[in-house]
Amino acid sequence: MSDGFGLDHLPYGVFSTQGSAPRVGVRYADTVVDVATVRPELDRPRLNDFMGLGPAAWAETHGRIAELVDSDALPAYPLDDVALHLPFTVGDYVDFYASLDHASNVGRIFRPDQEPLLPNWRHLPVGYHGRGGTVVVSGTPVVRPCGQRKAPTEEAPAYGPSRRLDIEAELGFVVGVGSELGARIGVDEFEQHVFGVVGVNDWSARDIQAWEYVPLGPFLGKSFATSVSAWVTPLAALASARTHVPAQDPAPLPYLAGSDRWALDVEVEVVLNGEVVSRPSYRTMYWSPAQMLAHLTVNGASTRTGDLFASGTISGPEPDTRGSFLELSWGGKEPFAGGHTFLEDGDEVVLRYSSPAPDGGRITLGDVVGRIEPARP
């Protein structure tokens, strides 16, 4: 298979056919293969029971599925004939801010006369705790949020629909095996806990966010919707995509300094109404996914099966590698793509992801699709 969904990939999702209950399937080419009979934990409406089994079960099961798919021993359905559902029940959701280029761009936009990075940024993976209940599967419409907003030229805040609705092209990591309260997950223990990877669009209302986030951080400007792909790529399928994070200066503190500080060579396309407007690459990220998880738990915070943590906006050093409209329009001052600065009602955004495959080809990760609907009264 050369379409990115071959035997070396087989990402997991949850699907249903007309009149049937949701259960686990894998994507193979343009079909969904029903794997519910392979083991009892896959005959479920979510992946959580299977993800909680751990790496040995993941590897054994995925190998068995590959054999059965290769021999046409399992039922398969055309992709267009099934409904796709949120693949896992989301526990907690944490979003990081791991791109040096994104953080620097945002600093230059909002603090042009100061150092772009705040003093803590190179010492720890900065993040915020989001809202797991508003994580939705790709294809779910996104309703323009309302809230308080105050432009710099306005004397007082007003309530109304966001006027600066944005995207954030990200990569997400799904916890399979959780950790107890008071325990820590070390950098080198990442693969014992993380099941797989999803595409993420962390929709952001920049005007609501700008008014509310001082002094406690993002809240309503982020919590209204986060979209994830319908397919979860097993971490093992990305072995050929591993690369090194950039040199970290200053050297991270010991709990962030394990040997497992790899990044992933994942290319992203940001598509607005059918036009590619940006091509960021995850391999430019400063903080590794293992460092993010280590920092998330260093204070003893527990994790659960289905917890999701994301990278934050993926941006590169060039203008055409920026992963948010905030950056692409440079704070709304430089329209792009036929006059866009931020999202308009009716806009559709598609995030596409790909990475190297073991055979020298490409793996195609699941798309993340969202269309903006008008604010509700």
65: which strand partners? none
Q: Number of C-alpha atoms within 13 angstroms, CB side, residue 272?
A: 22
Give the H or E element holding residue 368.
strand 362-373
What are the two backbone dihedrals, phi and then psi, of residue 12, each rounded to the nearest 5 degrees? Answer: -95, 145
Which DSSP category does 176 fall into? S
- Mapped onto helix, strand or coil, the DSSP state of residue 96 is strand
What single letter denotes the amino acid at residue 211? W
CB 349 within 8 A of CB 201: yes
Assess contact for 124 and 298: CB atoms under 8 A.
Answer: no
d(CA 306, CA 304): 6
Q: How many CB atoms lie within 10 A of CB 284?
A: 18
The span from the CA of 190 to the CA of 297, in Å, is 11
Which among 9, 62, 85, 102 is annotated as catalytic? 102
132 Cβ contact partners less than 8 Å away, ≥ 6 residues apart? 90, 91, 92, 93, 308
CB 98 within 8 A of CB 125: yes
Tell me the CA distances in angstroms from 329 to 48, 116, 226, 318, one per residue in order.
39, 18, 22, 13
Distant-in-sequence, close-in-space partners of 4: CB < 8 Å, separation ≥ 6? 354, 357, 361, 362, 363, 364, 365
Active site residue 85: no
Tokens of 344: 């308009």
Catalytically active residues are 102
